[in-house]
A and B are shown apart, each in its own frame.
Chain A
Amino acid sequence: MKTIILGVGNKILGDDGVGIHVTDELKKHIKDPNITIDDAVTGGMNLLELLLGYDKAIIVDAVKTNEGEVGEVKRIPLDNFSTMHSCNPHDVSLTEAIEIAKKMGEEKIPQEIIIIGIIMKEIPCEFKEKLSKRIEAAVPKAVEMTLNEIKKDIKISI
């Protein structure tokens, strides 16, 4: 089984880049030919293209929602994730992209897509590389939850 773990966000926009901070950390723990770890400042169609051909995809990303607390980490199966977000105003959302691709007969869409979402209330608008305290504190939890995701499916020594 081939899995991709993708950190999504913008590392030069503070908390927006938390997903990539998480995948940077994961790279230190995971060395398995069946697991790809990558990052992307993109969404929608571009994001979908990066997922094609894998059996399972785990997307680690900042999520803005009214529910929950800042810095909380949630596991969200894609079916429950009716986001309009694509990280990219000129694109469709990931769920739309998947719907389109399915209609087109695309067969390489991962069977399972999980989002590990780090909750925040504000969308960062200022250039910086550091995470805020509460979001930085969420990184270990997000790393742990992502590792749990792959432990379920693949026997690997971490």
Chain B
Amino acid sequence: MKTITIDPITRLEGHGKISIFLDGKGDVENAYLQIPELRGFERFAQGRRAEDMPQITSRICGVCPVAHHFAATKALDAAFNVDPPSAAKKLRELMYSGYYIYDHILHFYFLGGPDFVVGPDAPAAKRNVLGVIEKAGLEIGKEVIKHRAYGQKITAILGGKATHPVCGLPGGVSKGLNKDEVKDIKDMTKSCINFAQFSLKLFNDIVLQNKVYVDLILSDPYQLKTYNMGLVDKNNKTNFYDGKIRVTDQQGKEKVKFDVKDYTKYVAEHVEEWSYIKFPYLKSVGWNGFKDGKDSGIYRVGPLGRLNASEGMATPLADKEYKKMFETLGGKAINSTLAFHWARLIELLYATERAMELVNDPEITSTKIRNPVGEPGEGIGVTEAARGTLIHHYKLDKKGLIDKANLIVATTNNSGAINMSIRDAAMGIIKKGKVNDGLLNMVEMAFRAYDPCFACATHTLPGGMPLEVNIYDNNKKLYKTMRQNL
């Protein structure tokens, strides 16, 4: 068997490593993304004070500190058997909206968007945010930077440092909002709503008006008919902070809907020996290997997963865009991996509108922001991280120390689907052992859509975008290496 290894992946730090296995004819048999999952969290957490978990887990990853912070805080609400006051929930959700604003802007303009806005065939050196600015104009660049910073500021006003939230406590939050802060957040949010609308217009003008791109979105290598998962409110509209977990099938029909406390009844994890990452699947369907379709329990989370799993957005402008996306791409469910980018922009608009609703709520300046906690026990918390459903599960001892801790992170939920997307993209481009330069980009586009979260890593020298492709012959001997920046 021939093995092609791409390592590491452009723009993805961690140790993401892709191995592509060819069959005897030199066609793609399988592809795997190996992510060295951070190990030992349970042991690390054991014996620590439960109320430290929101701070500790927000350090797990420099990308999603806010998502971890609140998944942990909500798990503690449950573990200490306390329901936070309504104002505290609103403050948490407002902060959460700020996180979505900066995170989705960053992904679209800096990471995923360049493939579209600059073009998938553009040279790699142009497919970055500077390429976007070159095409869309310098003024746009300034707006991107400004609104990303607004998202950060909103988060920081509510939570302390944006990269280190400290506000979540079991039963509520540590800090409320004063009138000046409310005004600041309103002004910034208003500007963010406009910017989100502008971003959707940009996507419309540059991507949707270009048949080549629409064809690419709808092309076979990027279709994956999995189940979809996301949090929904009582009207089955997408919510990032709270609600029930809803799973829909390949036609968009509800498969199951459950409280996160019951997640182990619905979701199981498959293990492969080549990866530390587990592969979650729907228990009722079962694990049937790396396949899509109704007989495979693999599901997707993240922007497209969430929008497929819901029946719309709870705010008017975003809901209009939601309907437009499903009409344009042929109804439910949308199976195109590249539609993640579109879904992400619709979510950006929702986050800005939702932030405005919350900051306009008279209760947002309430000082009743914490309820007393009960006796320690077991608790499970869920949030929608920008890249998908995130679950924290803690068991506390009688003193309120952590006895057991388990996390299911978004990228883990998507791990089965990411592997299939990489495989399918590679299949489209590797024929009879022939590999051309387009491979790396097509494969990257396939998984970049998911915005997978790899471990925080140390600086890597030398820089640039190191990329290595190793091709092995049938005897697993290396006969060719393709490299850049190494």
Contact = CB atoms under 8 A, between A and B. Distances in A.
Given A13-B38, A103-B138, A126-B40, A85 B460 contact: yes
Nearest to B110: A92
B455 interface: yes
A100 to B, nearest CB: 6
Contact of B460 (A65, A90, A95, A99): A65
A115 B130 CA distance: 25
Nearest to A14: B40
A78 to B, nearest CB: 11
Interface in B10-67: 11-16, 36-41, 43-44, 56, 59-60, 62-63, 65
A123 B458 contact: yes
A12 B60 contact: yes
Nearest to A41: B62
Contacts of B81: none
B141 interface: yes
Contacts of A67: 461
Interface stretch (B168-176, B346-354, B368-376, B463-471): B463-471
Interface string B233-273: 00000000000000000000000000000000000000000
Given A45-B148, A87-B13, A125-B37, A16 B142 contact: no
B130 A99 contact: yes
Interface string B436-472: 0000000000000001111111111111111000000
A64 B138 contact: no
A103 B14 contact: no
A125 B463 CA distance: 21
| Chain A at the B interface: SS class | loop
Interface in A1-30: 9-13, 15-16
Contact of B107 (A9, A66, A90, A117): A90
Contacts of B457: 16, 64, 85, 87, 123
Given A64-B458, A89-B11, A91-B106, A84 B464 contact: yes
A84 B453 contact: no
B129 interface: yes
A82 B13 contact: no
Nearest to B146: A104
Contact of A12 (B59, B130, B454, B463): B59
A135 B62 CA distance: 22
Interface residues of A, number: 52
B462 A65 contact: yes
A12 B43 CA distance: 12
Contact of A88 (B37, B59, B62, B129): B62
A42 B461 CA distance: 18
A86 interface: yes
The bracket for how many chain B residues form the interface is 35 or more
A72 interface: no
Contacts of A71: none
A84 B13 contact: yes
Interface in B118-172: 128-130, 133, 138, 141-142, 145, 148-149, 152, 162-164
B128 A96 contact: yes
Contacts of B408: none
B103 interface: yes
A71 B289 CA distance: 44
Contacts of A45: 106, 110, 145, 148
B214 interface: no
Contact of B141 (A43, A63, A65, A100): A100
B329 interface: no
B39 A126 contact: yes
Contacts of B15: 123, 125
B141 A41 contact: no
Nearest to A9: B458
A83 B461 contact: yes
B317 to A, nearest CB: 25
A95 B39 CA distance: 30
Interface string A74-111: 00000001111111111111011001110111100000
A85 B13 contact: yes
B347 to A, nearest CB: 15
Contacts of A64: 457-461
Contacts of A13: 38, 455-456
A73 to B, nearest CB: 13
A49 B13 contact: no
B111 interface: yes
B40 A87 contact: no
A49 B130 CA distance: 18
A128 interface: yes
B39 A83 contact: no
B445 to A, nearest CB: 15
A89 B40 contact: no
A88 B13 contact: yes
Given A46-B62, A63-B460, A65-B459, 19 more contacts: A10-B59, A16-B456, A40-B163, A41-B62, A45-B145, A61-B458, A64-B461, A66-B461, A82-B462, A83-B463, A84-B485, A85-B13, A87-B456, A87-B457, A90-B453, A106-B145, A115-B459, A125-B39, A127-B41
6 contacts: A84-B464, A87-B458, A88-B13, A103-B133, A123-B457, A127-B39
Interface of B: 11-16, 36-41, 43-44, 56, 59-60, 62-63, 65, 103, 106-107, 110-111, 128-130, 133, 138, 141-142, 145, 148-149, 152, 162-164, 451-466, 485
Shortest 10 CB-CB contacts between residues of A and residues of B: A82-B463, A127-B44, A65-B461, A62-B458, A83-B463, A63-B459, A85-B459, A42-B62, A41-B62, A126-B40
